[in-house]
Structures are given as C-alpha cells and as structure tokens.
Structure 1
C-alpha cells in the first residue's frame, strides 16, 4: 500500500566531510537536540526525467521522485514522496518495468534546525557527507532557501570548495572502474 504526498520543494546542498567528528560536534551544538540515526538503502531506477528511487528503511520505505539540476552549491529540488509498506514487491515491479540504475547504502544522522533537515551521511563505498535540505513553504523563493543554507554552511565552517553537485549514485558510478 502506498500513501501519496503532494509535490514539495527544497533547496539542497551536499558537501564532502573531511573531519566527521568535528562536523558532528558543530551540528549537535547548533541544533541543541538529539540526532536520529537512520539506515537507508536507496535503489535508483532508470527514468527519462528526473530521478526515481525506492528508499528502504528497517520498517517500510518511500518511493521518491525528484528533479534538480546537477550543479555545485545550492540547488532547487522538486520532489514527491509516497509511503510504502511492501518495499520488496514494489522494488521487483519497478526493476522489471524500468531497470535498476544503481544502489546507495548509507547511515544517515538527522537533525532539524528551523526549516532545515541536516544530514550527515556515511555512504558505503564513498565516504562522509553533509547534506542540507531547506524545506520551502509555498510563499518562499529558492533564494530564501539558499540564504538559509548558506547561513548554516558559514556557521558549520564548510568551505565552498567542499560543495558537490549530483547525487551519491553519480559519485559511486564515477568511482567504479570501467
């Protein structure tokens, strides 16, 4: 069974982390809350437009479609999610219909700061990353989200040189030998 959610928007930034413990300490200090640890396995499916992934958790998952440019720094992402209780059969159907593009396994540490979801991801085979998702409400512009994300990057001391474009899957595919 799936439960649909309306399309939403966020401004997203990804950055490479060089000192995991230092960044965790800074984020914890800024957020003043306990983090949530989530183990995720994302299966990406072949699509003509945007990206489609089935995110599996310990209990259930989400089917997520999103579209965003692959540029360094802040980028506007439009997405839609649907809750899934039977990830195994849905994955099988999508694999048969679309084909699998790749798999990303990660341990995600999650905090909330105002309207921003702060993730520290330990991505299997790739390393450690910071991801900021500034969830926009209907009356906010992408520029509002970019400002909020930049403020957090400054507070956390993340240099522009560490910002990334693309998805973890893109980087995993680049690192695989041809």
Structure 2
C-alpha cells in the first residue's frame, strides 16, 4: 500500500499551457496511454482493472469524495493476464462502469501528472503526489499538490470531487 494525495480538475483550454509548464520543468514524459478502466461492484472502496499500453494494474483504493486534494490509500497488483482477470472479475463481481480515456503521463520527482481526454466527459488534469515508501508524509504531499494547483492556475470551480466513473454513472 502507498499514500497518494490527488487532485482532479476540469481542464477546458489549459491542457496545452500545463503541458508546456511540465516540459519547461523537464518533466519525465512516459507517453500517451489509451486506458480502459473497468470498475467492479464491491462492498468497500473502489476496485478497477486498468488496461493500457503503459499501465496495467488491478487497483483497489479508498478515497473521500471531496473537491481539492484527496487522500487515497492505494493497493496495486500487476496482473500478467489482464484479459482473463477482467473476465473473472466481471463474472464474480459484475461491472459497475467502464471509463475509456487517452492519458498523457508525466512525472516530476514523486508527483505524477495526467492530461486526460475522457470519452463522453471531456478534458481533465490530475495531480497525484505519491509517497510509495512512507518517507515523504501527507503534509509534504499536500504542499506539492497545492504548489502545482497554483502553478497551473486551476480555478476552484474546476476542481472535481468525483471520479470519472461517478461522473459517467451520473450521466
């Protein structure tokens, strides 16, 4: 398990400006990933299987629905055969919703950035400060998120409290 503090926001015309700020800071661009996130029916938290060209993980997390920085406890499992795992989980648990997105992935130190275009929803930015080994702490992660929120000039009304899955379910 590791600790994440994350922010998700609508990003109407800002994606190019944010991309340029990341490039100017020599962010490590990992690529653009077409990701299909299948969310399953579970009693506690959220369980999704992410299938992409860059990232393939079974992810369980618990996170409050609130605008601005959110703390998540995340468990990751890297399956060797995600298609078989998806079929097994669909059969056993049932599918809640599927999120289809194009995601640009960048890193600056321990902070991960996503520039997302989500089918049926639009464009977004995510800032995810990650403490993989317990050495950074929640306070520093919050500071990092706030720094990038300010740098990217993200307006408070653009901050999202729900996940893409919740937004699709509300449509």
How high is the TM-score relative to the length of structure 1? 0.88
SS at match of 2:85: helix
- For 1:27-176, list aligned pairs within 5 A: 27-58=22-53, 61-136=56-131, 137-175=133-171
Count of aligned residue pairs for this structure pair: 169
8 Å CA contact 1:31, 1:112 repeated in 2:
no
RMSD: 1.6
Question: Can you list the C-alpha shifts for 1:51-88, whole angstroms capped at 9, x where unaligned?
Answer: 00011123882111011101110011011111112112
How high is the TM-score relative to the length of structure 2? 0.92
Where do 5+ consecutive residues of structure 1 fail to align? 1-6
8 Å CA contact 2:33, 2:55 repeated in 1:
no
Decide which of 11, 15, 39 is 2:5's aligned counterpart.
11
TM superposition shift of 1:46:
0.5
Question: Can you list the C-alpha shifts for 1:76-124, whole angstroms capped at 9, x where unaligned?
Answer: 1011111112112111111111110000011110111121001111111
